[in-house]
């Protein structure tokens, strides 16, 4: 009985020592937090929304483990998170570049659509039945021209998705003006 | 023997104590619920509630970890399960709340969008009717671009961005509306409407008295009326200048004068087919011009202008202040008017004008 009590005591002392000697993985915590922050600063929350959300959740789960004093598991998780964040961060410039290229392509399409409408307007006969229409369409095109620099401004601000949307709206409008010019020209033919 | 039994019990306790508790299905569901909330846009629509939910989820997770790390006999997983179940139920409520908020916001954005679309339709109709389109049309186009942007954002459920685009659209639409209201200020003023009606009536009465034709031109309606013996004989569509709603003040303003004039020359071979030259500027015009010049409202080198005609060439032509008719129409009136035939040009005599109605509805 005496020996049994000794074994039991030793086991408890050992367990207590193991628990009380462990320290929170502060270094890993700081590194993981910094890596996730850097990832966000690179634009992961915009260009890789889902992946960044998962990363943030993993970080929170690891921090919860620290709170629950599960330092060993937390440490492993934090090391993995830091590495994942680095890996995700590395993919962002390519994603950004892709979005930028799409915005620039949309901007060029909008430019082409405006130029086409302008060329059509130049060709349109300014005669009976069209002069007022053409004047009005000219004003419409001027409105588009005035709005066109907003695409570049959005690109310069890094708002590539916004720039693309703006460009698409301008392109659609320019195409619709081209259609109206064609209709005005048809009116003259008749 | 006792030592052996003690050791066996001790080893069993260690084995069960270290036994890793299974993953709770409720924990997985709660985590999925958080993901669903995030995907539904909880951060944007119910930020405070979402924050509370996430905090509660973290607490539950910590409780789970703590419970799992306890000696198996003291693990109270039911409590943790309850916590997660409560969170899942709360999440369902929050998802419904988000949907309600989305419906509300989308409804309000769509009604704002439709309101602006109606303003744009009216502005377009007005600008097409009056040809004074440049500033108005440019703003209409800009408004339409913002509306397209707003529509796209609504489709993506990005309501904040949609609201921002609608705000910009509204700014542009309001500025176009203001230009229209400024242009129509006199046309909405009872004093002017009465004055123009009186001028037209005097001219009609004159036709009765003199037993001769007279011409009345309604600038807003773009109509030329021929009256004879006090009765309307014919009406024609006419074209005017880009700034025809304004009263002509000086050369180059592209406005059509308002007042009582008469034909001073009939031109058979005009640049615009046939033309009837009016005696603009009359005494009233000269007086007004001199007064404005004295007040410095007209630059010193600018003259009063002249050569205001009723001419052919097509009513669609944009003039510099003249009144343009279809050739076949001027052919009709040319023989019935003479030198001295009165021509009264007014803003409008039609108080019920569709354009005025549209302006009032803006």
Domain spans of chain B, in order of start: 15-183, 189-361
Nearest to B259 by CA among B239, B227, B283, B292: B283
Question: What local confidence, expressed as pLDDT, does residue B174 receive?
Answer: 94
Residue B217 β-bridge partners: B224, B345
Of A68, A127, A169, the CB nearest to B62: A68
Binary contact (A143, B148; C-beta < 8 A): no
Count of beta carbons in the 10 Å neighbourhood of residue A50? 10
Whether ipTM exceeds 0.85: no
Checking if the pLDDT of A15 tops 70, the result is no
DSSP for B231-268 reads EEEEEEE-B-BTTTTSPP-STTS-PPP-EEEEEEEEEE
| CB contacts, 8 Å: A166 with chain B | 145, 149
**Band of pLDDT at residue A14, cut at 50, 70 and 90:** low
What distance in Å separates residue B191's CA from the closest CA in chain A? Answer: 31
Interface of A with B (CB under 8 A): 1, 3-4, 7-8, 11, 53, 57, 60-61, 64-65, 67-70, 127-132, 135-136, 139-140, 142-144, 146-147, 162, 165-166, 168-170, 172-173
- Segments in chain B below pLDDT 70: 1-22, 72-75, 131-133, 316-317
What backbone torsions phi and psi does residue B265 show, to the nearest 5 degrees?
Answer: -160, 140
In this structure, are residues B308 and B331 in contact, taking their beta carbons and an 8 Å threshold?
no
Each residue's pLDDT tens digit, A114-155: 999 999 988 877 655 567 777 788 888 999 999 999 999 999
In this structure, are residues B172 and B143 in contact, taking their beta carbons and an 8 Å threshold?
yes
Each residue's pLDDT tens digit, A173-187: 999 999 988 887 776
Residue B60 vs residue A11, higher pLDDT: B60
Enter the tokens of residue B50: 């979402």
In this structure, are residues A103 and B104 in contact, taking their beta carbons and an 8 Å threshold?
no
In this structure, are residues B45 and B102 in contact, taking their beta carbons and an 8 Å threshold?
yes
Could you tell me which residues come within 8 angstroms of residue A139 by beta carbon, excluding any fewer than 6 positions away?
A: B133, B134, B135, B136, B137, B138, B141
Could you tell me which residues come within 8 angstroms of residue A171 by beta carbon, excluding any fewer than 6 positions away?
A: A106, A109, A110, A113
Checking if the pLDDT of A39 tops 70, the result is yes
What backbone torsions phi and psi does residue B239 show, to the nearest 5 degrees?
Answer: -110, 150
DSSP for B269-297 reads EETTEEEEEE--S-HHHHHHHHHHHHTT-
Question: What local confidence, expressed as pLDDT, does residue B344 receive?
Answer: 95
Which helix or strand (DSSP H or E) is residue B345 part of? Answer: strand B342-346
* Sign of CA pseudo-dihedral A119, A120, A126, A130: negative
Return the percentage of chain A with pLDDT > 70, whole number: 84
Question: What local confidence, expressed as pLDDT, does residue B110 receive?
Answer: 96
Residue B304 Rama label (left phi>0; alpha psi -120 to 50; beta) = alpha
Question: What local confidence, expressed as pLDDT, does residue B314 receive?
Answer: 78
Checking if the pLDDT of A31 tops 70, the result is yes
Identify the residue whose tokens are 């880009």: B242
Binary contact (A3, B6; C-beta < 8 A): yes
Fold of B189-361: L,D-transpeptidase catalytic domain-like (2.40.440)
Question: What local confidence, expressed as pLDDT, does residue B128 receive?
Answer: 80
In what order do the strands lie in the sheet containing B231-237?
B231-237, B223-228, B214-218, B342-346, B259-270, B273-278, B309-311, B323-324
Checking if the pLDDT of A20 tops 50, the result is no
């Amino acid at each position: 009985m005496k020996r049994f009590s000794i074994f039991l005591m030793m086991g408890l002392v050992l367990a207590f020592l193991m628990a009380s000697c462990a320290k929170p993985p502060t270094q890993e915590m700081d590194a993981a937090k910094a890596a996730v922050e850097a990832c966000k600063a690179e634009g992961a929350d915009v260009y890789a929304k889902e992946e960044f959300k998962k990363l943030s959740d993993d970080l929170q789960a690891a921090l919860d483990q620290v709170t629950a004093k599960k330092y060993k598991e937390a440490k492993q998780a934090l090391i993995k998170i830091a590495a994942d964040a680095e890996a995700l961060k590395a993919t962002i410039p390519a994603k950004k570049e892709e979005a930028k290229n799409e915005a620039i392509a949309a901007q060029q399409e909008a430019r082409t659509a405006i130029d086409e409408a302008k060329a059509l307007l130049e060709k349109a006969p300014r005669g009976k039945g069209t002069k007022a229409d053409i004047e009005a369409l000219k004003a419409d095109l001027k409105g588009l021209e005035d709005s066109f620099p907003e695409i570049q401004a959005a690109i310069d601000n890094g708002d590539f998705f916004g720039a693309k949307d703006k460009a698409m709206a301008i392109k659609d409008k320019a195409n619709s003006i081209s259609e109206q010019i064609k209709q005005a020209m048809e009116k003259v033919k008749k | 023997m006792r030592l052996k039994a003690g050791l066996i019990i001790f080893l069993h306790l260690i084995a069960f104590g270290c036994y890793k508790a299974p993953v709770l299905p409720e924990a997985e569901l709660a985590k999925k619920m958080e993901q669903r909330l995030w995907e539904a846009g909880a951060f944007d629509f119910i930020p405070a509630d979402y924050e509370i939910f996430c905090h509660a989820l973290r607490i539950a997770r910590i409780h789970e970890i703590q419970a799992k790390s306890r000696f198996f006999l003291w693990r109270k997983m039911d409590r943790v399960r309850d916590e997660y179940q409560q969170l899942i139920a709360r999440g369902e409520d929050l998802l419904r709340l988000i949907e309600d908020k989305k419906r509300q916001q989308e409804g309000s954005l769509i009604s704002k969008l439709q309101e602006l679309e109606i303003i744009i339709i009216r502005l377009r109709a007005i600008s097409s009717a009056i040809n004074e389109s440049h500033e108005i049309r440019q703003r209409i186009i800009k408004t339409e671009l913002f509306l397209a942007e707003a529509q796209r954002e609504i489709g993506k459920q990005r309501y904040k961005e949609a609201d921002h685009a609608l705000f910009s659209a509204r700014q542009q639409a309001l500025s176009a509306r203001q230009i229209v209201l400024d242009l129509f200020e006199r046309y909405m003023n009872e004093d002017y409407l009465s004055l123009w009606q009186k001028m037209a009536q005097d001219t009609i009465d004159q036709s009765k008295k003199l037993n001769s034709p007279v011409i009345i031109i309604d600038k807003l309606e773009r109509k030329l009326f021929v009256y004879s013996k006090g009765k309307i004989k014919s009406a024609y569509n006419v074209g005017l200048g880009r700034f025809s709603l304004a009263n002509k003040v000086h050369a180059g303003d592209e406005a059509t004068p308002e007042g009582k004039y008469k034909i001073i020359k009939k031109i058979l071979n005009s640049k615009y087919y046939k033309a009837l030259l009016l005696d603009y500027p009359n005494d009233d015009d000269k007086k007004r011009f001199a007064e404005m010049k004295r007040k410095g409202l007209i630059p010193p080198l600018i003259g009063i202008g002249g050569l205001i005609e009723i001419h052919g060439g097509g009513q669609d032509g944009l003039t510099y202040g003249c009144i343009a008719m279809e050739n076949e129409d001027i052919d009709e009136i040319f023989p019935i008017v003479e030198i001295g035939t009165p021509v009264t040009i007014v803003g409008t005599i039609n108080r019920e004008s569709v354009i005025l109605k549209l302006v009032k509805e803006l």
